[in-house]
Amino acid sequence: MTSECSTEKTTRNIPTFEDAAKFHGHVCPGLTIGYIAAREGIEKLETKRDVDEELVTIVENDACGVDAVQVLTGCTIGKGNLIYKDYAKQAFTFICRDSGKAVRVALKASFNIDDIDPEVSKLRPKIMAGTATDEEEKEYRDRMDDISQTMRQTPVDEMFKVKFVDAEIPRKARIFNSVRCAKCGEMMAESRARVQKGDFVCIPCYEEYTRGW
């Protein structure tokens, strides 16, 4: 039986890299990593772009690639099916709710963009420090474009470790009642409210009490 989020008998219309770059604002290796990972996840799950939480994506970083993941998968913070884990890893897990299948796509430790173009490592310190000339900035952008193109032509298994995994499927997003903060007067979801002196207060207004643990 074919699952609801499976489209193995239909054509998958996967957004292009240009779509992701337009959303992100520029082309870079980080965006390319997310694009390739998301495309591989969609293809492995034999699914298409999410409409209403059929897919869940767990990202383990908050870097450029997450923008590409949103464009390709349709998973977003707002819908509650883009889950962020602050692990600082270039790793992404894609889950189909109906079938329960999940695939994790993680960048291999052996992959390094400086191996594609060693000159980038010489320009990067100047770019990061803001001391690069206009010519150096243009050269850096051009080299980033070339690296991205090379990455998109590289076999996936040379860049990523891809495997099906057992993953706990997060519950769908919930809608909570709203309560008013007794201090600032703004409304908040009751699930995130704090109680202070018997009143509901929001997290920014809450006076944290701690004894060091």
pLDDT digits (tens, 9 = 90+) for 189-211: 999 999 999 999 999 999 887 78
Q: Three-state DSSP class for 98?
A: coil
Q: What is the pLDDT of residue 5?
A: 65
Would 17-164 and 174-213 be classified into the same CATH topology?
A: no
- Adjacent-strand bridge partners of 94: 57, 103
Q: Find the mean pLDDT for residues 161-167.
A: 95
- Adjacent-strand bridge partners of 106: 91, 161
Tell the residue number behind the tokens 């997003």, with chain if given: 173
Q: Three-state DSSP class for 84?
A: strand
Q: Which CATH architecture has domain 174-213?
A: 2-Layer Sandwich (3.30)
Residue 10: band (very low, low, confident or very high) from pLDDT cuts 50, 70, 90: very low
Task: Give CB contacts under 8 A, 24+ apart, made by 157-160.
Answer: 158/108, 158/111, 159/33, 159/36, 159/107, 159/108, 159/111, 160/36, 160/37, 160/40, 160/105, 160/106, 160/107, 160/108, 160/111
Q: What is the pLDDT of residue 145?
A: 96
End-to-end CA distance of the chain: 51
Kindly report the CATH class assigned to 17-164: alpha beta
Residue 150 has pLDDT above 70, yes or no: yes
Q: What is the pLDDT of residues 16-70, one digit of tens each?
A: 999 999 999 999 999 999 999 999 999 999 988 888 888 999 999 999 999 999 9
Pull the structure tokens for residue 46.
């034999």
Pairwise CA distance, residues 155 & 151, whole Å: 8
Domains in the chain: boundaries:
17-164, 174-213
| Residue type at position 194 | R
Residue 2: band (very low, low, confident or very high) from pLDDT cuts 50, 70, 90: very low
| Residue 12 near residue 44 (C-beta atoms within 8 A) | no
Q: Three-state DSSP class for 58?
A: strand
Task: Report the predicted TM-score, pTM, of the whole model to 2 decimal places.
Answer: 0.83
